[in-house]
Every structure is written in structure tokens, then in C-alpha cells.
Amino acid sequence: LANAHGGALLLGVSATGQVSGLAAPQMTENQAVAAALMADPPLVLPLPETIQEEGRDVCVVHVTPGPPQVHSIQGQNATRDG
């Protein structure tokens, strides 16, 4: 997302939109922050937040569009379309 136009990552929601929820939302938030810091250069993101959707916990990670340089993790660059 940071190598494209940014967006929101919904953890606890399937690609088809089905809400499965999270068993440990705080741990998921911590893992999202750790993943952002693994990028090279590190991503500067708003803190993830946990919301309730259909009575289940969902972690929302807002990803801002990256600067002109490309972000990578362990030397791999990725973008997702869709």
C-alpha cells in the first residue's frame, strides 16, 4: 500500500469482506507496528486502531501513500492492485 496510493488494511476481515474478528486485537496492533518498522525505509503510520464490526474486533491500519522512494522488506518490493 505504501508503494502505491495508500489505503486501509483491515485485519480480521477476509478478502471477500467477511468479518472473522481477532482473538488478540492488542497483539495484532503491536504486530502491525512491528511490520511497519521492518520496511526500508521504515513506514511512518498512524497507530493502528481496533474497532467493533458485527460484534467482532477488527484492527484498522491506515497506510499513507509513500514518498517517492520505494519501500521494501528484506529486499523485496511489493505493490497490490485491488
Q: What is the DSSP string of 1-69?
A: -TTTT-EEEEETB-TT--B---S-HHHHHHHHHHHHHHSBSPP--PPPEEEEETTEEEEEEEEPPP-SS
Q: Which pTM does this prediction carry?
A: 0.75
Task: Tell me how far apart the alpha carbons of residues 48 and 35 are, in angstroms, rounded to a whole number.
Answer: 12
Task: Tell me how far apart the alpha carbons of residues 13 and 29 are, in angstroms, rounded to a whole number.
Answer: 14
Task: Tell me how far apart the alpha carbons of residues 60 and 21 are, in angstroms, rounded to a whole number.
Answer: 11
Instruction: Identify the band that residue 68 occupies on the pLDDT scale cut at 50, 70 and 90.
Output: low
Q: What is the model's pLDDT at position 30?
A: 96
